[in-house]
Structure 1
Amino acid sequence: SVTRLGEGILNGPEDVCVDRNGVLYTATRDGWIKRLHKNGTWENWKLIGGDTLLGITTTQENEILVCDADKGLLKVTEEGVTVLASHVNGSRINLADDLIAATDGSIYFSVASTKFGLHNWGLDLLEAKPHGKLLKYDPSLNETSILLDSLFFANGVALSKDEDYLVVCETFK
């Protein structure tokens, strides 16, 4: 059977993840990281603020990571929110979109557009130019690097089971 979760409770959830304890998390357009407990109750867990939360995932350490289209790559724990990456090669990360964490701690994430933000992303489609990137954040070095650039609205990111390749979606190509 199929059950709709969060109807009337969640404001524009973009993505969902489940931690190793079976707790479901989502990032919503009202700036909250919300979690669904096994007993079926929703909790407003952490307020990030703004309306720009997009992709969300968990790490091997059971930390929550989220892409914020304005702030970049964030780590969210019981203690609070930490910006892991807001710049790459001296430029601000704009429109961080989706992410996946590898077992070695590396975090791979897409930047949909370096030119247009979340509220005018449609202009990226109309311009039809490759403004997207695939980035890697290395927590051991606290460094962010560009793996691929010139992507057409880089969106979803997936890592193979053996972690020997990545897949990134180009939405507008």
Structure 2
Amino acid sequence: MFQPCSPISIPTATTSTEKRMQSRLQLPSPLTGPESLAFDSSGAGPYTGVSDGRIFKYVGAESGGFVEFAYTTPNRNKTICDGIADFSTVQATCGRPLGIGFSKQTGELYIADAYHGLVKVPPNGGPAIQLVQAVQGHHFQFLDALDVDPTTGIVYFTEASSRFQFKDVETLLTSGDNSGSLLSYDPRTRETRVLMRGLAVAAGVAVSRDSSFVLVSEYMASRIQRFWLRGPRENRSEIFMQFVVGSRPDNIKRNSAGEFWISVNTPLGPPSPPRTPYLPLGVRVNEGALTLQVVTLAQVYGNEPASEVQEVNGALYTGSLFATYASNLSR
């Protein structure tokens, strides 16, 4: 049985640097914030949600780069929503897709929209279908991360906070809030379950390869928890990894070997409002929480935080809430 270890100190940029070739996958201007990435069953993509509520698909630089694929509001007003300069004023109306993931069974794209709840998009794109906006009488305030079990089709997603919305994220990160949750949605039964409560900004989620557990990151608690879905500890949780205080684990992505890539941002000095400088890292761990690899993303984002790292065919694809591009890091 895995036993939680002492807080993990992530190596510095000097000891974690791995040289890779970088390609920037530029979003159409003025769009920002490719927070999470997904690839469909044919390997096409990446797909990503952006600041004006749309989902874009990368079709290659020679074919135009990112092209519109879907949107999370069924009655989207393109005049109001598409590509405006100040997204903060319209995101509650136009949507803000964050966590995304494809169903292997149906080819549908599931999306955790910060304002509109859990939605899905048909394989050929277009307007999203609303699935879940509330659970047990509580209307979601800020959905964030998402993963789809490739075997069962069950969708695991997080509510970062039940008290603050996405537009209030700067306040949320200084509030000491621990009202986040881990949830699941079964498309076959349409049942939504609350698996964990009391999470300090539930920012990332990933299910294990054998569907026996799911990991959830707590951004402000500097840790990752494991919730057991079956086995002797079914429906119980434990600390999977504890990082040093101040480190911010964000999205978690499973690779083809059943390992996990975690986006971890370590502070460079004391907090410095309005935005603390970070060393963005990709950390690869196994199911026993053993650190296998650390890759610095400073070459991609400088001192800005990264939100996601995932491995596809040996390349690392990264996203950031603050960037105008996704990135492909190949060997």
Q: What's the TM-score once normalised by structure 1's chain length?
A: 0.92
| 110-119 or 43-52, which deviates more | 43-52
Instruction: State the partner residue of 1:89.
Output: 136
Give the CA deviation at 1:7: 4.7
Instruction: Tell me the distance in 1 between the aligned counterparts of 2:139 and 2:70.
Output: 24
Instruction: State the partner residue of 1:165.
Output: 213
Instruction: Tell me the distance in 1 between the aligned counterparts of 2:71 and 2:212.
Output: 35
Match of residue 30, structure 1, among 35, 48, 52: 52
| SS across alignment from 1:104 | coil
Instruction: Tell me the distance in 2 between the aligned counterparts of 1:146 and 1:91.
Output: 11
Structure scoring higher RCO (CA < 8 A, sep ≥ 6) equals 2
Deviations 1:99-150 (A, max 9, x none): 0011212100010000000011222222213110000111112121100000
Alignment size in residue pairs: 173
- 5+ residue gaps, structure 1: none
Summarize the alignment of residues 71-110 of structure 1 with structure 2, pairs less than 5 Å apart.
71-77=116-122, 78=124, 80-102=127-149, 103-110=151-158
Name the amino acid aligned to 2:107.
N
Match of residue 57, structure 1, among 101, 110, 133: 101
Instruction: Tell me the distance in 1 between the aligned counterparts of 2:197 and 2:169.
Output: 17
Q: What's the TM-score once normalised by structure 2's chain length?
A: 0.50
| 32-41 or 62-71, which deviates more | 32-41
- 5+ residue gaps, structure 2: 1-20, 74-93, 222-331
Give the CA deviation at 1:8: 4.8
Aligned: 1:148 with 2:196: yes
| SS across alignment from 1:55 | strand
Bigger strand fraction? 1
Deviations 1:9-31 (A, max 9, x none): 44221111110122211110111
* RMSD value, Cα: 1.7
| SS across alignment from 1:123 | helix
Name the amino acid aligned to 1:107.
V
Instruction: State the partner residue of 2:70.
Output: 46
Instruction: Tell me the distance in 2 between the aligned counterparts of 1:8 and 1:35.
Output: 11
Deviations 1:50-91 (A, max 9, x none): 252111111112211111111111101136311111111111
% identical equivalent positions: 31
Larger Rg computed on CA atoms: 2
Instruction: Tell me the distance in 2 between the aligned counterparts of 1:35 and 1:143.
Output: 30
Instruction: Tell me the distance in 2 between the aligned counterparts of 1:48 and 1:99.
Output: 15
Match of residue 111, structure 2, among 46, 55, 66: 66
Instruction: State the partner residue of 2:294.
Output: none
